[in-house]
Structure 1
Amino acid sequence: MLAFITWDVSPIIAEIGPLTLRWYGLLFMSGFVVGTFVLSHIYKSEGVSPRWVDVITLYMLVGTILGARLGHVFFYDWASYKDHPLEIFKIWHGGLASHGATLGILLAVWLFSRNNKFDYLWTLDRIVIVVAIGGALIRMGNLMNSEIVGKPTDVPWAFVFPRDTEHLRPVGIGETLPAGALQVMPEPGSSPMVAVPRHPTQIYEALFCVFLLIVLYAMWNRKKEHTPRGQLFGLFVVLLFSFRFLVEFLKEDQVAFERGMSLNMGQWLSLPLILVGVWVLLRAGKNPDNPYGYAPRDLNAEEAGKSSVRVKM
């Protein structure tokens, strides 16, 4: 039996002169790196040149960062940013929202598909497999930052986050601390505070993303180019945001205005995405003129061109 885990890991890997290497940044970028290998395998398996992977990865990178940043600004902290608009550009100060990243990815994939003659839903069906990878790694980055913590609990796998100073509470005079709790001093000379065991919601979400990765890849691998158009995307959106809706009940509020709300901002933002996913899923593969979607099947032509060059040389 586990008996609470004290998570006091530094979010910083190393400091090299003026540069600070953080776990979150490393894990965030690792999602794109790992994703390119997986997406290249998927594209090659369907006769699509892997050269498109570099192109869509660039679209995805820009869409994810801009969407996540603007989502945080407008969904969670507009009251502050409207008076200090230049702070919007200071991403290194923190503040990214996954729902905003979702909208940014949807727009980025639409632009990629339109500009390169890919079917939009065909592209989304494949891209959600690698998005699941990125989601798992980003949530592990949140864990390394000791952020997006869960509510207090006495489950044996609970984590104690002494670095999460936003959710420490004062120590009462003569108070007996709950099992697993730690007494900490956020700053030298400050009053003692208590870090109590909490749900490690970052791990819950990371594990669910791994589950989604396995399910989606298995479904794609079974049918590949005959995967019903929209099926993987619709299923991904329904499952991911339904889980997000439920896990929010275990999380602490991320911003002050959420206190007292029947549902928090993350839950309200998840509801329309779940409905979109259900609509897409119900229509998956139902278009008789385009049941599987389409993409440039240019891998064989590209390889033939390379072979011709080698023969001439």
Structure 2
Amino acid sequence: MLIHPQFDPVAIQIGPVAIHWYGLMYLIGFGLVWLAGSARIRAGQTVLSRKDLEDLIFYCVFGVVLGGRLGYTLFYQPSYYLSHPLEILYVWTGGMSFHGGLIGVLVAIALFARSRQRRFLEVGDFLAPLIPLGLMVGRLGNFINGELWGRPSDVPWAMVFPQVDATARHPSQLYEMALEGIVLFALLWWFTRRPRPVGQASALFLIGYGVFRFGVEYTREPDQFLGLLSAGLSMGQWLSIPMIAAGIVLFLFSSRHPARQN
């Protein structure tokens, strides 16, 4: 049985200025996206330029933060935030939704594509292999903060999170880091190494993330204020189902068109 290290949530303290691990993970995540995106540009896998990449990341920063926060308030605790609307702005207290962040990124892609006169799916296909890098470090941030812990378990690598209780649990944050981050990145990076029909990379991301998230949710402790919903599924699972369905439909639809570079 392992014990969570209980990291200090503050990564860097310089006088009165404190940089928290979770905020640092966001910076690292966007940095990795920039590095990987630059590599795709150098390899000639996109018509986008380095300036386009930087602008796209700028758009996505706002999409992730605004969408993630609004998604959390609407999907997970709408009644609470309706009663305390100002607390929607308190992003430093935690509470971000991946599915809300995804919607925010989709809006950001749409705005960027329109400003550059590019097709929405072409931009989405370029970005799809890069997103898992951000997810990877984001889940690492969850683990460092000791949040989003797993359900009780007796597996050899089960971990006690002292801030919760003395029960050994799945380190579900690390499962998500591995599957939604490392494995999904490797899959999409390999898939996009040769020309594919427009929309297929985006579709594979939706399917891959949805399937991995749906599976890992069986090891993740449901939010106390929600518990399990209909059919014994968590909110994360219910939100992943339409992702998987949309990905399958998009993949099949895009297969009708010839392959081309993103």
* TM-score of the superposed pair, with normalisation by structure 2: 0.93
2:227 equivalent to 1:271: no
> What does residue 110 of structure 2 align with?
110
Q: Deviations over 1:149-172 (max 9, x none)?
A: 101111111111113x3xx2xxxx
Q: CA deviation at 1:28?
A: 1.4
Residue of 268, 281, 296 corresponding to 2:251: 281
**Match for 2:144: what amino acid?**
M
Instruction: Classify the secondary structure of the residue corresponding to 1:257.
Output: coil
- How many pairs align? 258
Gaps of 5+ in 1: 169-194, 295-313
Q: CA deviation at 1:260?
A: 5.9
Q: Deviations over 1:46-90 (max 9, x none)?
A: 253211111101111000101100001100111111111111111
Q: Identity over aligned residues, as a percent?
A: 34
Instruction: Classify the secondary structure of the residue corresponding to 1:273.
Output: helix
Q: Which has the larger radius of gyration?
A: 1
Q: CA deviation at 1:108?
A: 0.8
Residue of 175, 195, 199 corresponding to 2:170: 199
Q: Distance in 2 between matches of 1:10 and 1:156?
A: 26
Q: CA deviation at 1:259?
A: 4.4
Q: Distance in 1 between matches of 2:93 and 2:225?
A: 19
> What does residue 98 of structure 1 align with?
98
Q: CA deviation at 1:216?
A: 1.0
Residue of 200, 205, 209 corresponding to 1:240: 209
Gaps of 5+ in 2: none
Instruction: Classify the secondary structure of the residue corresponding to 2:260.
Output: coil
Contact 1:14 1:22 in 2 (8 A): yes
> What does residue 38 of structure 1 align with?
36
> What does residue 143 of structure 2 align with?
143
Contact 2:3 2:162 in 1 (8 A): no
2:253 equivalent to 1:257: no
Q: Distance in 1 between matches of 2:144 and 2:98?
A: 17
Contact 2:229 2:235 in 1 (8 A): no
Q: Deviations over 1:210-239 (max 9, x none)?
A: 011111111212x1xx22211111111111
**Match for 1:263: what amino acid?**
L
**Match for 2:212: what amino acid?**
F
> What does residue 58 of structure 1 align with?
58
Q: Distance in 2 between matches of 1:18 and 1:83?
A: 32
**Match for 1:79: what amino acid?**
S
Q: CA deviation at 1:293?
A: 6.7
Root-mean-square deviation (CA, aligned residues, Å) is 1.6
Instruction: Classify the secondary structure of the residue corresponding to 1:258.
Output: coil
Contact 1:119 1:293 in 2 (8 A): no
* TM-score of the superposed pair, with normalisation by structure 1: 0.78
Tell me whether 6-15 or 128-137 shows the greater mean CA deviation: 6-15
Q: Distance in 1 between matches of 2:173 and 2:226?
A: 22
Matches within 5 A, 1:1-313: 3-46=1-44, 47-163=47-163, 165=164, 168=165, 195-208=166-179, 209-221=181-193, 223=194, 226-259=195-228, 261=230, 262-287=232-257, 291-292=259-260
Instruction: Classify the secondary structure of the residue corresponding to 1:256.
Output: coil
